[in-house]
Structure 1
Amino acid sequence: MKRLPHTFLGIHVDALSIPELNSLIAQSIEQGKKWIIAHHNLHSLYLYHHDSKMQALYAKADYVHIDGMALVLLGKLLGFPLKREQRVTYADWVWSVMAEAAQKRWRVFYLGSKPGVAERGAKILRKKFPGLQIATAHGYINTQKGSQENLATLAAINDYQPHILMVGMGMPRQEYWILDNLEHIHTNTILPCGACMDYVAGAIPTPPRWMGKMGLEWFYRLLSEPKRLWRRYLLEPWFIAGLFLREILNA
């Protein structure tokens, strides 16, 4: 699939739907490629403009899908032909990825979440998708490149030989880890996936899917975890509003 990115608010994003993203995973596996499929939402947009290491990760990403209805709406206001189905969040995508992985015998490794949470989520997925091959490791490790925990984690991943590596440590920790360890990871598709397995396992309540389609998922998350997310949803958007106004004025 040829990459046709849209550029606005200082970032590049690819307008991709769930079937198109699944097709990219299949392509990376069939061709023996190692691709990072990253994503952007308002939080990552804020981090990108304040963090050179995040910029370095996105520079290495082969595709960057949109995870946030607000980005779709801002892009449309700036004249880009974006559609609702091109906003893909893991709360929706994970089920489709796992269904395809079970059908095509792809091995999945999930790194992230608190101890016990990832494996609880994996059990739910194995029950829902018989034949699914998925291994897990929690993300509460010393992520320094030379630490014993990090080296052991890399060894576990590479011994499993996954086709898909999902890294759910939250931003920017998951992106840092991928960037620091990229040359030592043996897999095809690398997916930084945030709290994906926490939602599957029920450790964090999943927002009603209609709220996602309406662009209100952020409000549900803010009410669910106000202490952790108040800055992300109440302060960071003001910086992004400034980016948007500057782009409008310079158009």
Structure 2
Amino acid sequence: MERPDRIALLGAEVDLVTPAEVMESVAAFAAAGRLAVIANHNSHSLYLLKREPQLAAFFRAADLIEIDSRPMILWAQLLGLPVRGRHRCTYLDWRADFWSLAEQKGWRVFYLGGAPGVAEAGAERLRQRWPGLNLAVRHGYFDARPESEENLEVVGQIREFDPHVVLVGMGMPRQEAWIHENRAAFRRGVFMPVGAAMDYEAGVQSVAPRWLGPIGLEWLYRLATQPRRLAFRYLVEPWSLLPAMGRDVAARLKRSRGRPGSAQAVGAGNGRR
């Protein structure tokens, strides 16, 4: 597929892709038998970006970076960037398409993450809906230091399965750090951080009504259902983005003055690095 435009936004870089285009990318990477990483940015990752060097390195090395945030899209639109609602991509947006595609193409999918028993329960539900799935799972409660005995065992288990796709759901930034630290141990596979994906599939966490996503209120549902865990993330962390917002506005004004008629706005790039 054609490389998507990559733009600068809120101190980070993201690709203008839709969920369908993300699935096209997964299929293309898997068919090529290459190693690839598909990442995603939201307000939480933007908050952590300057505080977690490992996370910043992960994003620099990513092959594709989704926008997993309706507020980010709204901010981009205020700046005049060519970003639309269809560019929001998160696991819940493409889950059914992914599992259907995995069954259809015969992909070997490995899921790493979740509490003991949760991934197994989620996998069983997925197999009931897509009986042809070739899915292996392993919980995320282990010593994730690269050279630890447990981590080497996990890496060996995944290598033996030789998956086309590896979904890592251990929470941000642990899942991204694990992918970045261990990617060199694999010859191929599309690695994707997916947060609480199997918690949703197993019914451990409730899924917000999908109509809340397009109007930018999914975060409010999550905050209401998990206030203790998410209050700081949703009520405090976003304020740290004010300086980045100011830089975005300054860059937008500078470009508008320097290139009349250009509405591509802040840091628009022609494709990938």
TM-score range, shorter chain: over 0.9
> What is residue 30 of structure 2 aligned with on the other side?
29
> What is residue 39 of structure 1 aligned with on the other side?
40
The Cα of 1:51 is off from its aligned counterpart by 1.9
Higher relative contact order (CA 8 A, sep 6+): 2
Equivalent position SS for 1:213: coil
Letter paired with 2:128:
K
The Cα of 1:241 is off from its aligned counterpart by 3.0
Structure 2 residues not aligned, in runs of 5+: 254-273
The Cα of 1:185 is off from its aligned counterpart by 2.8
Deviations 1:120-165 (A, max 9, x none): 1111111111201110000011001111111111111111110000
Equivalent position SS for 1:102: helix
**Inter-partner Cα distance in structure 1 for 2:39 and 2:247:** 26
Letter paired with 1:23:
E
> What is residue 246 of structure 1 aligned with on the other side?
247
Aligned residues: 251
Letter paired with 1:91:
L
1:131 lines up with 2:113 in the alignment: no
RMSD: 1.2
The Cα of 1:50 is off from its aligned counterpart by 2.1
> What is residue 261 of structure 2 aligned with on the other side?
none
Deviations 1:71-122 (A, max 9, x none): 1111111111111111011122122111100011011000000001011111
1:85 lines up with 2:79 in the alignment: no
Higher mean displacement: 72-81 or 37-46: 72-81
**Inter-partner Cα distance in structure 2 for 1:29 and 1:201:** 26
**Inter-partner Cα distance in structure 1 for 2:150 and 2:5:** 39
Checking the alignment, whether the CA contact within 8 Å between 1:164 and 1:188 is kept in structure 2 is yes
**Inter-partner Cα distance in structure 2 for 1:132 and 1:56:** 33
Higher mean displacement: 85-94 or 62-71: 85-94
Checking the alignment, whether the CA contact within 8 Å between 1:113 and 1:197 is kept in structure 2 is yes
Normalization by structure 1: what TM-score? 0.97
Equivalent position SS for 1:203: coil
Checking the alignment, whether the CA contact within 8 Å between 2:20 and 2:94 is kept in structure 1 is no
Checking the alignment, whether the CA contact within 8 Å between 1:165 and 1:187 is kept in structure 2 is no
What pairs up with 1:53-64 in 2 under 5 angstroms?
53-64=54-65
**Inter-partner Cα distance in structure 2 for 1:162 and 1:39:** 21
The alignment-based identity, stated in percent, is: 42
Equivalent position SS for 1:16: coil
Structure 1 residues not aligned, in runs of 5+: none
The Cα of 1:186 is off from its aligned counterpart by 4.0
Deviations 1:146-197 (A, max 9, x none): 1111111111111111000000001000011111111013432100111111
Equivalent position SS for 2:191: strand
Equivalent position SS for 1:141: coil
Higher mean displacement: 239-248 or 207-216: 239-248
Equivalent position SS for 1:152: helix
